[in-house]
Amino acid sequence: MFYLIGLGLGDAKDVTVKGLEIIKRCDRVYLESYTSILTVQRETLEEFYGRSLIVADRELVESCADEILPEGRDEDVAFLVVGDPFGATTHTDLVLRAKEKNIQVKVIHNSSILTAVGCCGLQLYSYGETVSIPYWTDTWRPDSFYERIASNRRRNLHTLCLLDIKVKEPTLESILKKKKDYMPPKYMSVNEAAGQLTEILSDKIRDDQSTEFTDQCLAVGLARVGCEDQRIVACSLRDMTSVNLGPPLHCLVIPAKEMHPLEIEFLRHYALEGSQFGEMTR
């Protein structure tokens, strides 16, 4: 059997009872380490689970996926994913590979940012397409995520923006020399994401293009959702460029143009001190 087990969003104790029972009895247990992170280290998880974990980085999952799957009919393998197992398309690929080999698959679901984002008060059924905001480089500055946010705004829908994670990314030099050398891990913050969005808006305005929203629109920053030190801030997109929500993981929400009164009342509790929250929600 091949098990995909969601770990939730917080710490070691967020695993379900069913998931923990399976982890304890599997022959091999992998911890996926590049689509998201928990607030605790692998050693803490190993102590809580009572067994060792094999770290599955991007290279292993995307290039050597067949090595992860059970090798025989009597072997059980667990693959642990932060959040819910189907929060990333990579894990769908693992399921398809297992089925092609006639390996039985069982999924143990858990909480995901796609539902936990409801903690900010914006109603889940009013969200449109989820977007990812990647880190820009000196030579690569994609802006397609703006178009998706604009499309949601036109339909009066909220947008959840998932922010880039760089873990075990090879350096340019190592790629050229075919030598394994990796950059330090980094995780995009809400102020970095807001900064890239405001730059796109400025470029469009400079080029006399119309925009679906401005840097004065309401934005909601969330950090470490599901953890004891979770933080939420509501302010203008421009103000968000200066907000420091602390350690990762962060996500950003651009609300719909029109919100339900209950959504506005809920968000009011997270309004940044000194911000013009009332003006942004009219």
pLDDT digits (tens, 9 = 90+) for 145-156: 999 999 999 999
Binding-site residue ranges: 9, 84, 87, 112-113, 163, 225, 250
pLDDT given at position 175: 65
In the predicted model, is pLDDT for residue 245 greater than 90? Answer: yes
Angle at 71 between CA 69 and CA 73, to 5 degrees: 110
At 33, the pLDDT band (50, 70, 90 cuts) reads confident
The CATH T-level fold of domain 2-111 is: Cobalt-precorrin-4 Transmethylase; domain 1 (3.40.1010)
Binding-site residue ranges for S-adenosyl-L-methionine: 9, 84, 87, 112-113, 163, 225, 250
What does each C-alpha distance from 83 to 145, 186, 223 come to in angstroms?
Answer: 23, 19, 14
At 93, the pLDDT band (50, 70, 90 cuts) reads confident
Residues in the chain: 282
Strand partners, 223: 231, 250
DSSP H helices, 64-107, are 65-68, 89-100
Taking the alpha carbons of 114, 115, 116, 122 in that order, is the dihedral positive or negative?
positive
pLDDT given at position 159: 98
Q: 218-223 and 231-236 as β-strands: parallel, antiparallel, unpaired?
A: antiparallel
The CATH T-level fold of domain 114-281 is: 3.30.950
pLDDT given at position 151: 97
Write the pLDDT tens digit of every residue in 124-151. 999 999 999 999 988 899 999 999 999 9
Q: What is the pTM of this model?
A: 0.91
pLDDT given at position 172: 67
Domains of the chain, by residue range, sit at: 2-111, 114-281
Angle at 234 between CA 134 and CA 244, to 5 degrees: 60
Name residue 246's amino acid: G
Neighbour-count burial of 50, counting CB atoms closer than 10 A to its CB (0-12 exposed, 13-18 middle, 19+ buried): exposed
Tell me the Ramachandran region of residue 38: left when phi exceeds 0, alpha when psi lies from -120 to 50, beta otherwise: beta
User: Could you tell me how far CA 140 lies from the centroid of its own chain?
Assistant: 21
